[in-house]
Amino acid sequence: MFRTLRVCFTLGFVVCASAQDTGTAAVDPMYVRYSVKVSFRGTPALPKHNTPSSRTFKTVIRKEVAAGANFADHYTLASWGCGSGCMAFSIVNDLDGTVYDFPYTVSSFGIWDSGVAWRRDSNAVHVVGSLNEGNNLADRWYVWDGKKLNKVSEKPAVHEDP
C-alpha cells in the first residue's frame, strides 16, 4: 500500500514535508541502509502530552496518530507549520503514546528542495533546510534510535531542478 502526505507553504519559497510509505519508485540508499521490518498493524495508543510540543500541538498530533503509523514501523511522525516556510515535528510511539520532540524547527529561504521526509519502513529521516531559522542551511540525515534522532550525515544543501 502506498501513502503520501505532502504539505507545502509558498510565499516566494517552498518548504515541503512528505511521508512516503513503502512502494515509492525512487528509494534513497539511506532509507535502505536504515530499513526496518514493518509489522505493526494495531491501533495506535493515544498520544501522551509529555513534551512541550505535545501539549501545544495536541490536536495535530492526535490527528496524525489516528491516521496510523507512518515511520519506523510503529511510530507516527507528526508535522505542522510554525510560520511561513517553517515546520516542526514530533515522533509518537504508537505502542505506548510517548511523544518525542525534534528539538529544532526546519525552514528554508531561497532553496526549493527543503523540508522533512521519512518512510514507514526506515528509521531514517531526511531534513533539508535551516534549523531554528539560522544560517545553517544543509542537507541532513538523522536515524531514530527509539528515543531521539541522531545525525548521521550533513552536507551543503543544493537545489535540484525537477
Task: Give the model's pLDDT for residue 4.
Answer: 35
Q: Which phi-psi region, left, alpha or beta, contains residue 85 (left: φ > 0; alpha: ψ -120 to 50)?
A: left
Contact 18, 26 (CB under 8 A): no
Task: Give the model's pLDDT for residue 84.
Answer: 78
Say yes or no to pLDDT of 2 above 50. Answer: no
Task: Give the model's pLDDT for residue 98.
Answer: 98
**Cα–Cα distance, 65 to 78 (Å, whole number):** 7
Domain ranges of the chain: 4-156
Task: Give the model's pLDDT for residue 3.
Answer: 34
Residue pLDDT, tens place only, 101-123:
999 999 975 655 568 999 999 99
> Which CA distances in Å does 156 have to 38, 126, 137, 139, 140?
32, 13, 7, 6, 9
Read off the pLDDT band of 20 (50, 70, 90).
Answer: very low
Q: Terminus-to-terminus CA distance in the chain, angstroms?
A: 25
Contact 31, 18 (CB under 8 A): no
Q: What is the mean pLDDT of the chain?
A: 84
Q: Where are the beta strands (DSSP E) in the chain?
A: 4-10, 14-20, 75-81, 86-93, 99-101, 106-107, 115-119, 124-131, 138-144, 149-156
Cα angle, residue 143 at apex, residues 122 and 61 outer, rounded to 5°: 75
> Which CA distances in Å does 80 have to 61, 75, 90, 95, 145?
9, 16, 9, 22, 22
pTM across the whole model: 0.82
Residue pLDDT, tens place only, 38-85:
999 999 999 999 999 999 999 999 999 999 999 999 999 999 998 878
Say yes or no to pLDDT of 5 above 90. Answer: no
